Each structure stands twice: as C-alpha cells, then as structure tokens.
Structure 1
C-alpha cells in the first residue's frame, strides 16, 4: 500500500514510470482489495464481507469468536475543522482511527471493520454494526472479549466472556488469587486475536498512517484482507 509521496516516487523510479501513474494505479487497486472481504479457512470460494457473515459462519461451523479493538495514529485534522476532537483517543492521547478485528481460535482474521475516529469506544462501534441483534439471532455463537466489551458480556452472559472484575483491595487473599487465575486463563484464550492484530501491524501503514485520512479505511481493509488470505492457510 503506497501511503506517502516518497514511496510512490521510489516505485516510479524502480519501474521506470511517472509517479502519477503509480498514484493512479494505487487509487484503482486499493478499493478493489478493500472490497474483497476476508478469507474463510478451508473454503477457498467463500469470503466474509460483513459482521453478519461472520456470525452466520461461526454458527454453522461452531467457531468461537475473539473480538478486539485496534488503533493507529493518523494525521491531526487542521485547526478549526469540525469534528477535530473526535480523533483524539482517550487511551493513547493521540489522533487515531480505530477498527474492530474478529479472529478465530487460531488467530486467523475473519473480519475487520467498524472503523471510526479514535474517540469512539470499542463497544459503541460494534453496537453500531448491529452486534447485539446478531447475538440474539445466533444464540449459540460465543465470543471472548477484553474489558472494553464488558457491557456486551453483561447483556449476553451465556455468549460473551469478558475478563472478571478486579476484587476490592481489601478482598481476601483467596479471592484475589482466584481472580488472577481466572483473568490469566481468559487472557490466554483471547490472546490469539491480539496476535492477529500484530500481523496487521507488520504492514507499515498500520504502524502509523501518514496518508490522507479519507483513504485510511480502504487501506486498513485491504491490508486486513491480504492478511486473512495468508492466515486462512493455517
């Protein structure tokens, strides 16, 4: 994914082309890659495009899902531009864009989406994608999540598993030990989606995005789709 002028210029020199030709090719290819969807393990002819597709697949195959949010630093909007504060992440204190990643137990990317400005909470983003209705539609689909999705776990206790709440500081030692063990167990079962996020961020644009923000969504989806092609072969 070409995301800055220096790389585009380097490719133009390497292939003996005008830089505008490289830029035009990138603008044509990027949306095509972004629209391909995500590979399904063992199903070469099938691709997942929406969160609803993921739930239908998980329900049919008995796949336990893992959800996690990821964020990437982006350029700060110009001063005075409406919605400028919406990109400031409460966690990173930087201008970011976030995305939700869904993986299976082997860390294979099944879907990436719900891309939004960094200020929006992870759970709010997936709710906007209709995840609550999907849990109701597919009552046998289960998911493991981090503490940011605790509200979903509270609403769907038999389907969504979040880390246990930390006991009070004056809680008995036995209670604290049990909490630590439960948290560690849940984390080890959920860490595969963090590995999936790490594979996405091996690509330079998702380490820190230097391009124009209006192209970020397509760039992220294109990279995640390419990663899913590779990981589906596991």
Structure 2
C-alpha cells in the first residue's frame, strides 16, 4: 500500500511543489540553493503515522531528525492530497463525491446506510462568535460532525466534510444535496436512524428510518411487541454503518483532535480514503480491523 501511495501521490506533490516555486518572482533559479533533507517518502510516512497513531509533531520531528515546523509543513502539504483520493471500491474505481456514491449504489442495486459521527475538538477561544456553535446537542461537548455512507457490508463509500457539532444530521444531509440526488436518481434503499426522519417523504421512500409510534399512550400490548420487533429489525440492518464508523475511529486522529479545526475535513476524508483502500486490498481483514 505504501508503494502505491508513493507512486500516486508523489507526482502530485512534486507538481504542486514546482508550481509554488514558479508562481512568484525569484532572485535565483528554480532548483538552486539548499536541497530538501526531508524527502517525499519521509513526508508521506510522517503524515500516515500522524493520522494512524495521533503522534504529535514534536515526536515526529525527533524521529525523523528535522525541525517541528518542517513536519507541520510536510503534513499540511500531503494530507490534502490524501483527502482528494476518494474512497476506493475496486482497484480502478474510486468515489470522490456523494453523487458518485449514490450513482454507484443505484447502478448496482445495492443498499446504502448513512449515519453521522462526531469528533471532539478544541473549544473556540473566549469571546469568539462561534464559541457555542461547536457544542453538540447529543454529547454537550465541542465537536465536529461528518456524514458517513457505507454499503450493506459496512464498506465506506463516502465521508463528507465536517460541520460544527450543533448541526443536525438531517440538516447536514440536506446541505450535501442528498435529497435532490435521491429524488432524481434510481430507486434504492438508504437505511438511516431516527435523526433522518422526514427524508423518506422527500425522497420518494428511498430513505428508510425506524417506524414511528402510532400510540403515544395506552398502546395495546400487541402493538408494543410488534413495534419493538420492527425497530430491532431495522437496527440490525443498519448496524453495519456503526462498524464502518468504528473502523474510522480506530485511527487516533479521529478520536479527539487537539489541532486546528480547519483541518478536520481533510483529516476525516484522508482517513476514509486510506481505510477504504485497505478494505479493498484485503476485504476480510479490512472489515474486521
């Protein structure tokens, strides 16, 4: 996998590096001056270690024998390139947008599952206008939220950019254009939890959520039993998305982020792309990891 990433990301990084050198007026020729001691392979490895194990930049700088600022700059250059790779579903097929993921599910008659996941982040500074914007209504902690779409086996097909933790799951899905994509696309099943109730009517029944309670008080005994059976059946079908999210959270960068919140979208999408690549390369091991 490392060799494939080097072959794919290396030329993109070199192209961007050359573009930065030539986009401004210079007093010396491109390529003159001191040469990089921190080569691209080491930059990629430092980024992968940071994402997988949450290793601090100070520790990485000591391991690679460079300055902390060099590690920070290297990760900032490589991480967006990993985020742009998209989710791998076959050696030659990748899904980079929600529209592509929906089209893939519809073309193959597959069932999709969506859910939101929260990642704890640092609280905005006192006096900031967005100080309360990141507080999650569910956990009452500062967090950002991403929407994850998997297939029925729990394989990650798409992971959205993050929104502040106060954003509701259904609101994020609507902002991503999911209602329009499903309403205009082929008929398919998208399983979701109660946080997405209301999308079923907007998408022609394509989004399936847990059944509503018809009796709020004095429900017959037979109805309580049937309602519980229906909810359990729905939960057992959509549990795979929870497994997919658990695999994402195995990457320490997504357990709790202590850096800049502005980088979270790249971090989440980079991890999703790397995880899907791993699952495609070794399907059985990837789904159990």
TM-score calculated relative to the size of structure 2: 0.76
Q: CA deviation at 1:108?
A: 0.2
Structure 1 residue aligned with 2:106: 59
The offset of 1:169, in angstroms, is: 4.0
Residue 67 of structure 1 aligns to a residue whose secondary structure is strand
Specify whether residues 9 and 86 from structure 1 end up closer, same or farther in structure 2 by C-alpha distance, changes over 3 A only: same
Which deviates further from its counterpart, 148-157 or 23-32? 148-157
- Which structure has the greater CA radius of gyration? 2
Q: 1:177 aligns with which of 209, 215, 225?
A: 225
Q: Deviations over 1:132-177 (max 9, x none)?
A: 1111111312200000001102333531110112342420110000
The residue aligned with 2:268 is: 220
What residue in structure 2 maps to residue 148 of structure 1?
A: 195
Change in Cα spacing, 1:6 to 1:148, as seen in structure 2 (3 Å) is closer
Corresponding residue pairs, total:
232
Q: Is the 8 A contact 1:114 1:129 kept in 2?
A: no
Alignment check: 8 A CA contact 1:122 1:148 kept: yes
Q: Are positions 1:230 and 2:278 aligned together? A: yes
SS of the residue 1:36 aligns to: coil
Distance 1:63 1:119 in 2: 31
Whether 1:198 aligns to 2:219 is no
Task: List 4+ stretches of structure 1 deviating above 6 A.
Answer: 3-6
- Report deviation, 1:19: 2.0
Distance 1:7 1:158 in 2: 46
- Asked whether the 8 Å contact 1:38–1:48 carries over to 2, the reply is yes
Post-superposition Cα deviations, 1:54-82, rounded to whole Å, max 9, x if no partner, equal 11111111111000000011101011112
For normalisation by structure 1, the TM-score amounts to: 0.93
**Aligned partners of 1:139 and 1:80: how far apart in 2?**
48
Name the structure 2 match of 1:35: 84
Structure 2: where are the runs of 5+ without partners? 1-46, 284-289
Report which of the two has the higher share of strand: 1
Whole-angstrom CA distance in 1 between matches of 2:193 and 2:239:
10
Residues 64 and 104 of structure 1 are in contact (CA less than 8 Å); yes or no, is this contact kept in structure 2? yes
Query: Greater RCO between the two (CA within 8 Å, min separation 6)?
Result: 1
2:153 matched to which residue of 1?
106
SS state at 1:85 partner: coil
Distance in structure 2 (CA, Å) of the matches to 1:191 and 1:157: 23
Runs (5+) with no aligned partner, structure 1:
none
Instruction: Tell me if 1:71 matches 2:118.
Output: yes
Retained in 1: the 8 A contact 2:162–2:264?
no
How far apart are 1:114 and its partner, in Å? 4.4
